Amino acid sequence: MNSKSAIGMFDSGVGGLTVVREVTRLLPEEEIIYFGDTARFPYGSQAPSRIVEYSKENATFLLSQGVKALVMACNTCSAHAYELLQESLSLPIVDVIAPGAKKAVAATQSGHVAVLGTSGTISSLAYQKAIEKENPAVRVTAIACPLLAPLVEERLFHHPATELIAAEYLKSILKSDVDTLLLGCTHYPMLQPILQKIVGNSVSIVNSASACAEELVCVLQEKKLARASSGQIAAHRYFVTDDLKKFQDLAQSFLPGIQGEFSLASL
């Protein structure tokens, strides 16, 4: 593998496409091989040991494709398996948690950040620890939102039911001094308009997908693995473990006009 090789990314389903979107915006010339484990979605409510196994398998699949770097485009995987993959693999790995935490800490003025994530991500305390590491004075309210990723997978981005459920999750922070809302799940940027409507414009929303893409740019440059700019948008390949048609339809909502090769993968 060299700078011309592709970047490998994985998620439990379509959520990681919000990371693809940000990476394509910053690095249009980079080829991406995306792996969505749609057969085993959702990851957010499963045991940490299972998420570790899935993460290892997903990484092995991408390594077999010859990728030059790995992006864990899933907060639940990042929370449970980032350190382990980093210790066991020799290629650069970028997760979503540390970059998101850093961006949220930089954004808050009141010193109070709320983090939304899957049950697995929130109960792992990964964000709470990452924010504390950045700045121990910043307070964190962490909220598990197990229904949000499935609502995104059902494309109910603007549905009243989604708004009702999101408002229920957010009610504890509405009259607080939280001024920064960190989206700690790669599915949630699709709900940003609804979430912003609920929390109001005085709260800034930080997206861990864009923070992760910015980190990837730095890592590729540092490791001399960035592709020379060709002025052309690179080809992307998408692999999923189930229901290719549903993935393709959803992908159009995430990335309108998305192009690339779509295939079923078996692990």
Residue number, 8 or 15, with CB nearest to ligand DGL = 15
Please indicate whether residue 185 is annotated as part of the active site: yes
Max alpha carbon distance in the chain (Å)?
51
Residue number, 126 or 226, with CB nearest to ligand DGL = 126
Task: Choose one: 21-29, 40-48, 60-68, 129-137; the region binding ligand DGL (CB under 6 A).
Answer: 40-48
Window 146 to 175, contacts with ligand DGL (CB under 6 A): 149
Q: Which residues pair with 117 in a beta bridge?
A: 144
Question: What single-letter DSSP state applies at residue 49?
Answer: H
Site string for ligand DGL, 58-77 (x = CB under 6 A): ----------------xxx-
Q: Is 187 in the site for ligand DGL (CB under 6 A)?
A: yes
Q: Which of 74, 77, 145, 212 is catalytic?
A: 74
Q: Is 42 in the site for ligand DGL (CB under 6 A)?
A: yes
Across the beta sheet with 204-207, the strand order is 139-144, 112-117, 180-183, 204-207
Please indicate whether residue 218 is annotated as part of the active site: no
Show the tokens assigned to 49. 């040991």
Alpha helix segments (H runs only) across 108-207: 119-124, 126-134, 148-153, 160-170, 192-199
Query: Which of 5, 10, 12, 102 touches ligand DGL by CB under 6 A?
Result: 12
Q: Is 99 in the site for ligand DGL (CB under 6 A)?
A: no
| Cα-Cα-Cα-Cα dihedral sign, residues 18, 21, 26, 27 | positive
- 113 in Cβ contact with 136 (< 8 Å): no
Q: Is 118 in the site for ligand DGL (CB under 6 A)?
A: yes
| Cα-Cα-Cα-Cα dihedral sign, residues 213, 218, 223, 229 | positive
Q: Is 11 in the site for ligand DGL (CB under 6 A)?
A: yes
Q: Which of 77, 145, 185, 212 is catalytic?
A: 185
- Residue number closest to ligand DGL, CB atom: 44
- 95 in Cβ contact with 78 (< 8 Å): yes
Q: Is 43 in the site for ligand DGL (CB under 6 A)?
A: yes
Residue number, 72 or 203, with CB nearest to ligand DGL = 72
Q: Is 80 in the site for ligand DGL (CB under 6 A)?
A: no
Q: Is 121 in the site for ligand DGL (CB under 6 A)?
A: yes
Alpha helix segments (H runs only) across the chain: 17-26, 48-64, 75-88, 97-107, 119-124, 126-134, 148-153, 160-170, 192-199, 208-222, 244-254
Interacting residues toward ligand DGL by CB under 6 A: 11-13, 15, 41-44, 74-76, 118, 121, 149, 185-187
Q: Catalytic residue numbers?
A: 74, 185
